[in-house]
Structure 1
Amino acid sequence: MNQESNPNPQHAAASRETPEESPMSPRKILFGLAVVLLIFVVIAVAGIVRRSHADSVLAQRTDELAPPTVTVAAAQSGSPSETIVLPGNVTAYTDSPIYARTDGYLEHWYYDIGAKVKKGDLLAVIQTPELDNQVAQAQSDLTTAEANANIARIQAERYTNLVKSDAVSQQDTDTFVSQAAATAAAVKSSQANLQRLLELQSFEKVYAPFDGVVTARAVDTGQLISSGSGQGSGTELFHMQALQTLRVYTNMPQLYSQTLKRGMKVGLTFPEYPEKTFEGTLVRTADAIDPVSRTLLVEIDIDNHSGQLMPGALAQVHFKTPPIGSTFIVPTTALIFRRAGLQVGLVIHGDMAHLVPVVIGEDDGASVQIVSGLQTGDQVIQDPPDSLIEGQKVTVVKPGRAASNEGGL
């Protein structure tokens, strides 16, 4: 009985010295595997990134060392367009404000804006009561002067006859002769004053100075009118323009100034007549280049008896100009803008870049005219890279192949 209740002492001691180990849970096993897998993924990604960066650096370095690929085309002689089109300002052949030459009140006007008038047509009448009174006074003064002159003349003649018989003194005779001369001069003065006032009185009626159109009327009946000459001191009554012939002014660039000849025919187009071309004649130039715009002022006359055109309009002036020297056409993309100036890249010896300075002329946006710097047969680089330098090796390809290469990139 004691044997069953008391276990083996040796076995109990062994159990206390070596405790029984518990088994690992599945969650801990999965966590460990995930950590190991993550480490492998990080190592793999780092290797791929490092290899990709190395490949990119290698490709970039290879591109830098490789000659740039360019397309070339032979320089073509000519001009970007057959004609030069310039904006023109249309003006009346004669443009004149009409001012009053006398003071008064506007009694009546006879023509309004848009009216066609002939030279000498009565435009308006001005009332001048003060001037009318001055004329009446001047006429009275003239009558008085003539009467005084007549009396003085008779007295002088009488004394001249009496002095011959010593009936009067020579001194008295000389006095009356002088008075006769003075009164005669007073008559002339009065006549001149009356004539002046009559001339002013004639300005009561305002006449058209030339054939034309009334383009403005600035006064109305009863308005106070002040005489003047257009310097701000007078009242402008009307504004007239002669429209039978119109003047068109434009500015020709200095480059083409020597191609202009007086009498040459010029085409003109207007926005209101998009399908019609009017013909004008170059009549004169300023014969001096404007130092600011470097252009030559040109006047073109155009017949307008039909009345289709109006002054103040904008015209497009078409000049046909002959070629100026040896000019060539290149695309605008061929131009190289450097500190040394405007240049164009050429290919010489088949694979070497050569930069030449050029002077440009007309530019239509897509192409530009080269007036100096190129020669016939030059192989012009159509779209040079920004890094192109003198003497650099280049690879010349056909335009179609270059486009396909760019599309592949």
Structure 2
Amino acid sequence: MAKSKWLIAVFLLLAVILAGWGITARVQKKHALGQLANDATIPVVSFVTAKKEPQSEEVILPGSVAPAFNATIYARTNGYLKKWYVDIGDHVSKGQVLAEIDSPEIDQQLLQAKADLMAAEANNKIAQTLAHRTRALLPSSAVSQQSSDQAASDANARASTVASNQANVQRLEQLVSFEEIRAPYDGIVTTRNTDIGHLINSGSNNGPELFQIADISWLRIYVQVPQSYAASITPKVVAELHFPEYPGRAFVAHLVNTAHALQPENRTLLVQLRIDNQKGELFPGGYTEVHFKIPPVNPGISIPASALLFRAEGLQVATLTPDRHVKLHDITQGRDFGTDVEILKGLEPNEPVILNPPAALVDGQKVRVSSQNSHKRS
């Protein structure tokens, strides 16, 4: 009997132990589930460190390369091309003959004009002699006053005819001189659009260009600078040029001037740079990358654009406190660089800024930091 009571007591004790263990396990599981549910409500965030903008920033813009001077050569007289002396790629000097035009009509007109001038000078000589003689005979009444006046008038008319013929000869001589096409300055021939025997018409509206001469001893670089950087383009700005044909090399260019006005169609400032090209390494008409090193007007803080919070209160940024709570900042935005933005007020350097903050994030809210903080910047 005593043994049976003892066995019953042991079974009861085991039942109590098992029941207690089960209750404890269920309580722990419920607590764990509650903790997991609470943790699930805490947002997981990643962050970056707000950086102070450098003392100078590099702005890269496309540029167009043009020669120092470029002249399109047209004929100034009509005729046929007799001969050309230079071709594309040839270096020429100022005044050098590029080609000759055969203009027989102009040559004949000049010969006729010279003959007319000789006849006018002979007639003028006779008229002047007659006028002088009649004036000498007038005191002795050998001739009448009317005859003297008539002789003087005829002499003046003959002198005017001489002057007119002289001007015509000079005009035709000038036209004949245009039969030789000369270089306007030292340079290189970049285009030849004519050949021997071609019919030549004078003027830019009556025929194609004959030659193009470019001075490439130095080059002009034209750049369109966006409005946000326009005020920073001063004579102290350093510009480096990078050409695709010279990878790894940088060429220093100097500011010549700016348009001092924005172009309304694209809100950009036209900037002209100058670069030496005495060695002839660079070619006009090409493309270059222009690297400007510009000091910021109002240095601010740089953060990713994905960190901005757009709310009714205004633009805000969320940062992390050391105990992993959220702190909201009212900010003043500066320039927008696309992926990054400039913050002028409301944020200090090196603050941990939350990326892609949830729209429901509030000040003081506890958050968890992602273990895979892949966006973190040192």
Q: Distance in 1 between matches of 2:197 and 2:292?
A: 52
Asked if 2 retains the 8 angstrom alpha-carbon contact of 1:270 and 1:314, the reply is: yes
- Equivalent residues in 2 for 1:121-270, closer than 5 Å: 121-228=96-203, 230=204, 232-262=205-235, 264-270=237-243
SS in 1 for 2:70: strand
Q: Distance in 1 between matches of 2:193 and 2:313?
A: 57
**Among the aligned pairs, what percent are the same residue?**
40
Report the alpha carbon displacement of residue 158 of structure 1 after superposing the two structures with TM.
1.4
- Which residue identity is paired with 1:200? L
- Which residue identity is paired with 2:173? L
CA 1:168–1:72 in structure 2 vs 1: closer, same or farther (change >3 Å)?
same
Report the alpha carbon displacement of residue 179 of structure 1 after superposing the two structures with TM.
0.5
CA 1:225–1:371 in structure 2 vs 1: closer, same or farther (change >3 Å)?
farther
Instruction: Tell me what 1:40 maps to.
Output: none
Instruction: Tell me what 2:348 maps to.
Output: 376
Partner of residue 296 from structure 1, selected from 253, 260, 269? 269
Instruction: Tell me what 2:13 maps to.
Output: none
Instruction: Tell me what 2:369 maps to.
Output: 398
Q: Distance in 1 between matches of 2:51 and 2:184?
A: 57
Q: Distance in 2 between matches of 1:124 and 1:374?
A: 71
Instruction: Tell me what 1:76 maps to.
Output: 51
Q: TM-score w.r.t. structure 2 length?
A: 0.80
Matched, 1:112 2:84: no
Report the alpha carbon displacement of residue 374 of structure 1 after superposing the two structures with TM.
3.8
CA 1:382–1:219 in structure 2 vs 1: closer, same or farther (change >3 Å)?
same
Report the alpha carbon displacement of residue 397 of structure 1 after superposing the two structures with TM.
2.7
Report the alpha carbon displacement of residue 285 of structure 1 after superposing the two structures with TM.
1.1
- Which residue identity is paired with 1:381? I
Matched, 1:305 2:278: yes
Asked if 2 retains the 8 angstrom alpha-carbon contact of 1:79 and 1:329, the reply is: no
CA displacement, residues 237-293 of structure 1 (integer Å, 9 cap, x when unaligned): 101111110111112222222322226442111111101111111121111122232
- Which residue identity is paired with 2:208? T
SS in 2 for 1:221: coil
Report the alpha carbon displacement of residue 218 of structure 1 after superposing the two structures with TM.
0.7
Q: Which has the larger radius of gyration?
A: 1
CA 1:124–1:94 in structure 2 vs 1: closer, same or farther (change >3 Å)?
same
Q: How many residues align?
A: 336
SS in 2 for 1:346: strand
CA 1:401–1:242 in structure 2 vs 1: closer, same or farther (change >3 Å)?
closer
Instruction: Tell me what 1:282 maps to.
Output: 255
Report the alpha carbon displacement of residue 321 of structure 1 after superposing the two structures with TM.
1.5
SS in 1 for 2:140: coil
Matched, 1:345 2:294: no
Q: TM-score w.r.t. structure 1 length?
A: 0.74
CA 1:116–1:344 in structure 2 vs 1: closer, same or farther (change >3 Å)?
farther
CA 1:264–1:66 in structure 2 vs 1: closer, same or farther (change >3 Å)?
closer
CA displacement, residues 311-340 of structure 1 (integer Å, 9 cap, x when unaligned): 11111111111233132111233245x597
Q: Distance in 1 between matches of 2:313 and 2:63?
A: 33
